[in-house]
Amino acid sequence: MRILYVGNSLSNHMVRWTNAMIERGHEVMLVSDCRRGDIRTAKSKELKERYMRFGGKRGYFLNVFELRRIFREFKPDVVNVHFASGYGTLARLARLKPMVLSCYGSDIFVYPYRGRINRNILCRNLRYATAVASTSVAMATEARKVLGDDSFPITVTPFGVDVARFCPADRHVTNERPVIGIVKYLEKIYDIPLLLRAFAIVYERSEVKPVLDIYGNGPLKDELEALAAELGISDSVTFHGVIANDSLPEVLQKMDVFVNCSVKESFGVALVEAMACGIPVVATDTVGFREVVADAETGYVLKDRDPETMAQALLKLLSDKDLRERMGAAGRKRVLENYDWEQNVTTMENLFKKVSVLK
């Protein structure tokens, strides 16, 4: 097939999808208005890229004719648009068909609740698409809620992991000091301060003092480092910066417990990656995390955002190696059953084939 992707070229999610389809033998072109920035995943050398003239929100309207021209030149069998609000609007105005519209998260959980106009735009985009895809059941349910149609067809296409790369390490090797880890951008919505405050409690109560490894950059780095100093845990907290995707499995394999404390999440890729490595997880209560984590089986989904609650979950895991190993094994099993990337790619590929015959 000839597949035309429309979306953010700096998105690791987008790059993984395009790479996967190229590996399956498809001809792929990615059209975007994003030109600069860093990504963790290397793009395939066979990926064709086109960049539209206008960037930002205005690009969703001003790039219409350029996108339509690219569409006519490439003559795709199917178009896959990532992000149902902005890029979804651009694709609808450019009259791209047949089109699979992939929902991401904030486009469904946030955008339509910012006003009636936004809600109407999103609904028009969803109904225009030949087919709609969602990375999670929770997001599909929310999209139907926005549309006011419980029977609206949406295909769930999880954003899973390469289970051959993300796999358990030799856990016979025990860390001298227990390692708690997180991989997230240092932004407000990911609530790293909650983890720092919980870690300070864990550190104070632990006979063998743990360490906290934080991977990722962001605007709150200085503020978070200052909070760690204020809590007296700076010597045991390391801010590693951005980690390359190729190095991520090795980093996760060294952790004893993985944490994700986002305020909102529609899925939970980082949790899936950790679970695939056999690491028990502790996560805050979001719709995405509830779907990914089997509470008290593969880890813990916290009942509130109190640092004490998180600290108790961490202490329970750190004090019981058998529990960690049991939950880690259960997490790995859950990923193999639901989030094996090759199976997820096949699901999306089959959706493309189904849609392409409607051309």
Q: Which tokens belong to 265?
A: 């999440």
Please give the helix or strand (H or E) that residue 181 lies within, else none. Answer: strand 179-183
CA proximity to 136, closest of 289, 273, 266, 15: 266
Which residues 6+ apart lie within 8 Å of 313 measured at CB? 282, 300, 302
Which residues 6+ apart lie within 8 Å of 262 measured at CB? 184, 189, 190, 191, 284, 286, 289
Q: How confident is residue 274, by pLDDT bands cut at 50, 70 and 90?
A: very high
Q: Kindly state the percentage of the chain with pLDDT values over 90.
A: 87
Q: Roughly what angle, to the nearest 10 degrees, separates helices 137-147 and 116-128?
A: 110
Q: Rounded to whole angstroms, how far apart are CA atoms 280 and 125?
A: 39
149-158, 163-172, 213-222: which range is least confident on average? 163-172
Q: Rounded to whole angstroms, how far apart are CA atoms 159 and 156?
A: 10
Tell me the pairing of strands 237-241 and 211-215: parallel
- What size, in residues, is the chain? 359
Which residues 6+ apart lie within 8 Å of 210 measured at CB? 177, 178, 179, 180, 199, 202, 203, 236, 256, 318
**What are 97-136's pLDDT values in tens digits?**
999 999 988 899 999 999 999 999 999 999 999 999 999 9
pLDDT above 90 (res 324): yes
- pLDDT of 169: 87
Rounded mean pLDDT, 221-231: 97
227-231, 244-248, 279-283, 322-326: which range is least confident on average? 244-248
pTM of the model: 0.85
pLDDT above 90 (res 77): yes
Q: Kindly state the percentage of the chain with pLDDT values over 70.
A: 97
Please give the helix or strand (H or E) that residue 4 lies within, else none. Answer: strand 2-6
Amino acid (one-letter) located at 181: G
- pLDDT of 33: 87
Q: How confident is residue 37, by pLDDT bands cut at 50, 70 and 90?
A: low
Q: Rounded to whole angstroms, how far apart are CA atoms 305 and 290?
A: 15
End-to-end CA distance of the chain: 12
Amino acid (one-letter) located at 352: F
Q: How confident is residue 358, by pLDDT bands cut at 50, 70 and 90?
A: confident
pLDDT above 90 (res 251): yes
Residues 134 and 155 sit within 8 Å (Cβ to Cβ): yes
Between 357 and 352, the more confident residue is 352
Q: Which tokens belong to 74?
A: 């490439």
- pLDDT of 114: 95
Q: How confident is residue 171, by pLDDT bands cut at 50, 70 and 90?
A: low
Q: Rounded to whole angstroms, how far apart are CA atoms 264 and 284?
A: 9
Mean pLDDT of all residues in the chain? 94
Cα–Cα distances in Å, from 42 out to 2, 11, 17, 48, 89?
A: 21, 11, 12, 14, 28
pLDDT above 90 (res 78): yes
Amino acid (one-letter) located at 241: G
The Cβ of residue 155 has, within 10 Å, a number of other Cβ atoms equal to 17
Between 20 and 38, the more confident residue is 20
The Cβ of residue 124 has, within 10 Å, a number of other Cβ atoms equal to 13
Q: Rounded to whole angstroms, how far apart are CA atoms 147 and 139?
A: 12
Which residues 6+ apart lie within 8 Å of 286 measured at CB? 262, 263, 264, 265, 266, 268
pLDDT above 70 (res 222): yes
Residues 29 and 54 sit within 8 Å (Cβ to Cβ): no
- pLDDT of 40: 64
Q: How confident is residue 173, by pLDDT bands cut at 50, 70 and 90?
A: low
